[in-house]
């Protein structure tokens, strides 16, 4: 992960494009892509990227906040869906995911996080992780997030 020290990014309206690719086996992949407006803020040493989910993501009515730190990332969702996912390269985190049918135990193994800056502005995030639910592998996810300032 590129160093965030000295990055100067204050309150900004941004245009965000998110492309997710979930592979559940050979030749079996789901791809979603959507664009939305969001907000990028620097608070302390962390960057926060916040946006409203859409029907395309299946999370309509939910606000997502991505928190970027020096060597880690968190995705917090609040609204119709409520959960937090934590990511750090080479680390496995376990989270509870509340559903109408009861809680699920979600395991997330981060393979890689790449954060790119251009002229001290966040331009993109690529996240590669494997996920399991209740101990059963459900696949690999690669998420590309592009950020364009207005």
Q: Give the tens place of pLDDT for each residue, 112-138.
A: 999 999 988 899 999 999 999 888 998
Q: Does some domain include residue 4?
A: no
The model carries a pTM of: 0.82
Mean pLDDT of 73-87: 88
Q: Does some domain include residue 3?
A: no
Give how many domains the chain has, as a whole number. Answer: 1
Q: Which domain holds residue 23?
A: 12-149
| CATH number for 71 | 2.40.128.20
Q: Does some domain include residue 7?
A: no
Q: Does some domain include residue 91?
A: yes
Q: Does some domain include residue 5?
A: no
Q: Rounded to 5 degrees, what are φ and ψ at 45?
A: -95, 5
Supply the mean pLDDT for the chain: 85
Do you know the residue count of the chain? 150
CB 24 within 8 A of CB 88: no
Cα distances from 130 to residues 25, 38, 55, 114, in angstroms, run 12, 26, 24, 16
């Amino acid at each position: 992960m590129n160093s965030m020290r000295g990055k100067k990014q204050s309150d900004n309206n941004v245009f965000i494009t998110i492309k997710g690719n979930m592979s559940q086996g050979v030749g079996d992949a789901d791809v979603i892509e959507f664009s939305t407006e969001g907000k990028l803020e620097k608070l302390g040493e962390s960057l926060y990227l916040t946006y409203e989910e859409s029907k395309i993501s299946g999370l309509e009515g939910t606000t997502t906040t991505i928190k970027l730190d020096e060597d880690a990332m968190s995705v917090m969702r609040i609204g119709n869906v409520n959960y937090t996912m934590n990511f750090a390269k080479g680390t496995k985190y376990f989270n509870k995911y509340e559903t109408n049918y009861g809680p699920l135990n979600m395991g997330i193994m981060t393979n890689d996080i790449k954060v790119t800056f251009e002229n001290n502005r966040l331009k993109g995030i690529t996240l590669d992780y494997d996920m399991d639910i209740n101990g059963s592998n459900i696949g690999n996810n690669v998420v590309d997030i592009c950020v364009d300032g207005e």
